[in-house]
Homo-oligomer: A and B are copies of this chain.
Amino acid sequence: MNILIKFKKTVIPNRKEQEQLKKIADFSINLVKKEATKYSEVNTIEFAGSYAKGTWLPKSQDIDIFVKFHENTNPEKFESIGKKIGFDSLKKFKPYVRYSEHPYVEAFVKGKRVNVVPCYDVKSGNWKSAADRSPFHTKFILNSLDQSHKNEVRMLKKFLIDNDLYGAEIAKQAFSGYVAEVLILYYGSFLKVIKAAANFRWNQIIGKATKKFDTPLVIIDPIDSNRNLGTAVSIENIGRLVLLSRAFLKKPSLFFKPKKPSKKNLENTLVLTFGYKKRSPDVIWGQLKRSASALTKQLNLAGFNVLRSQVVTDEISNAALIFLLQSIKIEKRMVRKGPDFFRSKDSDKFISKNNKKSIVMWIGDGGRILSLQNRLENDAVGFLRNILKNKIKTSGVSNGLLPDFKKGFKIQYGKQVKNKFIKKAIQALASTDEYTFYSS
C-alpha cells in the first residue's frame, strides 16, 4: 500500500531530531549519574523506555532514566534517595514528584520531558517494585527488534495515539508502548498487526501462555509468561482496535483524517463535577472509576438506564463523572415484584408492606404478586443529589472521595457545562467515533 510508505515517513524522527534528543538525554543522564555516585545503595543508572529502545515518535519528549537500587535497600530509603537523586540532579529545571505506585521525579530539560525513575536491580522474575520490569523490557526489545521493526512499532504507536487507544494507565485502559512492541515482534509488521486485529477472536492469545487467562484479549509478556498485558485493556478499547483495523483494511487512508467533532451534544448527559485535594494520578483515577461504576449501579437500580459513563480529571484539582442516560426523566410509575403467592409468609409481608403504596396490586402471569407504585424520584438530577447528600456512605462511592464531596459538588446537564476539558469528554461520550464505526 502506497499509503503505508507515506505513513512510515511521518513517524520516523529525522536526523536532526535524533541528534537533539540524544544530546539532551546524554546531558541529563550525566547529571543523574553524578548525583547517584553519592549513594552506595545505587548499583547503576541506565536509559529505559522508548528513547532507549529507539521506538519514540517525532515530537515525543520522553527520556526515561532508571536509577537501579541494590535489591536489599529498604523501601523508605528506596523512595527517599530515589526522590533526592531526581531533585538534586535536575534542580535547575524545576523538578516535581509524580507517582505511579511509587514516586519518581519529572522535569522538562530544554523542552524535553525527563523522568528519573527508581527501581530495584533484581533478577528477572524477582520483581520488588512495579518499575523493575522496565530495564528487562528495554533489553529484550533492543535484542529482538531491528531498525525496520522499530519503525513498524512507530507506525503502530502513531495509529494507536491518533485513535485515542494509547496508554495502559487506568485513565486510558488502552495499549502501552510495550504492547505495541510485543505485537510487532509477534506479527512482524504494522499491517500484519492490523490484519490480525481485524480477525481477533474472543480470548485471542498472543504469545505463549503458561496458564489460562480469562480476558477477551491475552497478550503474554515475553519476559514473564505469567503476566497478561491484556488485563490492562478494556473490552471497549479492544473492540475499537478491532473495528478500526477492519475499517483501515477497507479504506487505508482512513486514519489520516482528523477525528470529526461530535455533531450533536446530547441533552441526556448528567455531569457531576467537584474539586479534590491533589493526589497521585493513579489513585485519583482509580477512585473516580470506582465511584462512577458505583453510581451507575445506583442509577440503574433506580430505573435510570445509564448507557455510557466516563470520568475526567485535570490531575490537579478538578474532576467530573459523566453519565449518558437514555433519559434524565423516567416514568413516574414502576412495578415492584413480590414473591409468588404460594410463599405464604413472604406474600403476607409483601402485601402488608406495599398495600397502601400500591396504585394497583395484582397477580402476574407467573403467579408473582405485583404492585404498581409511584417512584420516589423520577428525575436523575434529584436522585443523584439525594444519594450524594444523604446516602453517600452506602452508595459505593470511593471512601477516598468522601471528604472532597463534603466540600461541595455540582450536578449539571451536559449542555450547562462550561469547563473545556469536561466539555470535550461529554462530546466524546455523546457522539459516535466515525472511524470505529466506519461503514463503506
A286-329: contact bitstring with B at CB < 8 Å (1 yes, 0 no)?
00000000000000000001011000000000000000101100
In the complex, how many angstroms separate the beta carbon of A97 from the nearest chain B beta carbon?
A: 35
Inter-chain contact A355/B439, CB cutoff 8 Å: yes
Known contacts A361-B437, A367-B235, A432-B361, A342 near B372 by CB under 8 Å: no
A 223-248 contacts with B by CB, 8 A: 235-236, 238-240, 242-243, 246
- Are A307 and B439 in contact (CB-based, < 8 A)? no
| Cα–Cα, bound, A335→B306 (Å) | 11
CB of A235 within 8 A of CB of B360, answer no
316-363 of chain A: CB within 8 A of chain B: 324, 326-327, 330-331, 333-335, 340-342, 344, 347-348, 351-352, 355, 358-363
Q: Are A307 and B370 in contact (CB under 8 A)?
A: yes
Q: Is the CB of A344 within 8 A of B305?
A: no
**Contacts known (A202-B342, A305-B335, A307-B335); A360 close to B324, Cβ less than 8 A:** yes
User: Is A148 part of the binding interface, using a Cβ–Cβ cutoff of 8 Å?
Assistant: no
Q: Does A255 contact B (CB under 8 A)?
A: no
Question: Distance in Å from the Cβ of A382 to the closest Cβ of chain B?
Answer: 18
Q: Answer whether residue A216 sits at the interface, using C-beta atoms and an 8 A cutoff.
A: yes
Is A421 in contact with chain B by the CB < 8 A criterion?
Answer: no
Minimum CB–CB distance for A216 against chain B, Å: 6
> Which residues of chain A in 212-271 are interfacial with respect to chain B, using CB atoms and an 8 Å cutoff?
216, 235-236, 238-240, 242-243, 246, 264, 266, 268
Tell yes or no: A199 within 8 A of B by CB: yes
A363–B433 Cα distance when bound, in Å, is 10
Q: State whether the Cβ of A200 lies closer than 8 Å to any Cβ in chain B.
A: yes
| A129 CB–B CB distance under 8 Å | no
Contact of A363 among B236, B334, B358, B372 (CB under 8 A): B236
B333 touches A331 (CB 8 A): no
**Interface 1/0 per residue, A356-393 and B, CB below 8 Å:** 00111111111101101000000000000000000000
- Asked if A326 and B432 sit within 8 Å, CB to CB, the answer is no
Instruction: Out of B200, B308, B352, name the residue touching A342 (CB < 8 Å).
Output: B200
**A197 shortest CB reach to chain B, Å:** 11
Within 8 Å of chain B (Cβ to Cβ): is A424?
A: no
A399 within 8 A of B: no
Q: Chain B residues with Cβ under 8 A from A347's Cβ? A: 243, 246
Q: Which residue of B lies closest to A349 (CB)?
A: B439
Question: Using Cβ atoms and an 8 Å threshold, which residues of chain B touch A432?
Answer: 355, 358, 360-362
Instruction: Please give the residue numbers on chain A whose beta carbons come within 8 Å of chain B beta carbons, in ascending order.
Output: 198-202, 216, 235-236, 238-240, 242-243, 246, 264, 266, 268, 305, 307-308, 324, 326-327, 330-331, 333-335, 340-342, 344, 347-348, 351-352, 355, 358-367, 369-370, 372, 430-433, 436-440
